[in-house]
Chain A
């Protein structure tokens, strides 16, 4: 089983739709969780950190479910500009501070 798993998609949704992605992780000791956005042939950019209590930033909401070991990202009122690949990242905090990334979920928002 991979350490961090994501549905690769693509998720094809119309503008204005609400879409949600999940990301499961295998290390129950993981401490830090993130969502990154990556545009084609560009570097990943930090979208949101995911806190235990969940957090919201405009149209984006991130949640953590420790019991089931997954994080989620909800995008409301999708825009064409949201089309990208969304990577989740997890820090296992076993003395190694580097992140482990999922393979990404591709979102295509259509007019």
Chain B
């Protein structure tokens, strides 16, 4: 069954703690993305990676970090420098076609206590 998995589904964190969100895909897609969604808003791009060992900042990268050591995996770390981390985090992937249809994982809902 091909798809994108994210874990955990819900995550609670105390202020000042770093936390890592997992994203794995078995679609053999080259590109992977992290978006953040706040209530009643659209998705905002945090980081993206078009190929293994390479990634670029999106529109709201401050306070976040990523790695792309394997094609299948693109973990996101939310650091203590992120001032307002409570949000719904969505990982997506796409193949290398010019049309770039993106498919999403089920998301991780992060709450900072």
User: Using a CB-CB cutoff of 8 Å, which residues 29-87 of chain B contact chain A?
Assistant: 31, 33, 35, 40-45, 48, 50, 56, 58
Given known pairs A96-B48, A97-B50, the reply for A46 and B42 (CB within 8 Å) is no
Given known pairs A44-B43, A103-B41, A104-B42, the reply for A98 and B58 (CB within 8 Å) is yes
Given known pairs A43-B105, A43-B106, A43-B107, the reply for A99 and B42 (CB within 8 Å) is no
Closest to A46 in B: B101
Closest to B88 in A: A41
- Number of A-B residue pairs, CB cutoff 8 Å, is 57
Contact B90 A31 (CB under 8 A): no
The answer for the CA separation of A39 and B32 in the assembled complex, in Å, is 22
User: Of B44, B58, B101, B104, which one neighbours A43 at CB under 8 angstroms?
Assistant: B104
A25 at the interface (CB under 8 A from B): no
User: Of A32, A42, A98, A101, which one neighbours B42 at CB under 8 angstroms?
Assistant: A101
Given known pairs A103-B40, A103-B42, the reply for A45 and B100 (CB within 8 Å) is no
B102 at the interface (CB under 8 A from A): yes
Residues of chain A within 8 A (CB-CB) of B106 are: 42-43
The answer for the CA separation of A94 and B103 in the assembled complex, in Å, is 20
Binding site for B on A (CB under 8 A): 4, 8, 31-32, 34, 41-46, 49, 87, 89, 91, 96-104
